[in-house]
Amino acid sequence: MKNWYKNMWMVSCLLIATIGMTSCEDVYYWIEDSEVGYAVSGHWFGDMDMYNAYTGEKARGSEVEFYSGWSYDHGRGVEIDYYYHARPVRNEFDWEVVNGNIYLTFLDNPDLDCVIGDYRLSGDYFSGYIDGYDGYSTHFSLRSYDRYWDSYGYNSYSTRAIEDSDSTQVKGIRGCNMKKIENNKE
């Protein structure tokens, strides 16, 4: 009986040592760029932290639409920012997913070029941080237009601006870039 207790004690110590010496690794799931592109493709609305470059007024909301190309890892898109006291601002961009990062290249306003690298993306929400090439970063938070617009009555934006050719008269800037652009007298 004494031998049995001794053996059980040795097995217990061995089990504890085995558990104690295992390492914990962070588990990273590699997601293909085309999967990210597929998830981001669509119509989104919410806060892109945009400001009117001339008045400093914060946009009351934004619509962003990502259209995929022949492959889901790139495409073209449009961002429309709505203001209380100014016309909507419409900016078109090309987008591409590279190693999980979403690169936006704005066609008429290269000051807005940015990369979205730290984000959360699902069928309902798209949020995270936009990093500008000038070193600034700003937070954004979007919801799926198709899933939430009709259900919750988010009808304070005007979708007519998509068709409005004069909606590009006012230049928009990201919130964190506002002071830098004002100091450069742009």
CA angle 141, 142, 145 (to 5 degrees): 170
Short-list 91, 61, 92, 63, CA closest to 75: 92
Burial of 93 (0-12, 13-18, 19+ CB in 10 A): buried
Digit-coded pLDDT (tens) for 58-78:
999 999 999 998 889 999 999
Give the mean pLDDT of 14-39.
68
**Torsion angle in degrees (nearest 10) through CA of 12, 16, 18, 19:** 140
Tokens found for residue 164: 């409005």
Lowest mean pLDDT among 18-32, 55-69, 72-86, 100-114: 18-32
Percent of the chain at pLDDT > 90 equals: 41
Digit-coded pLDDT (tens) for 76-98:
999 999 999 888 999 999 999 99
Report the topology of domain 33-183: Lipocalin (2.40.128)
Short-list 53, 4, 85, CA closest to 178: 53
- The Cα 105–Cα 62 span in angstroms is 17
- Phi, psi (5° rounding) for residue 177? -90, -10
Which residues lie closer than 8 Å to 168 by C-beta, 6 or more apart?
Answer: 89, 90, 91, 108
Instruction: Note the pLDDT of residue 123.
Output: 86
Burial of 90 (0-12, 13-18, 19+ CB in 10 A): buried
Residue 143's beta-bridge partner residues? Answer: 45, 125
Residue 126's beta-bridge partner residues? Answer: 121, 142
In the numeric block, the tokens 């890892």 are attached to: 73
DSSP-assigned letter for residue 170? S
Instruction: Note the pLDDT of residue 182.
Output: 34
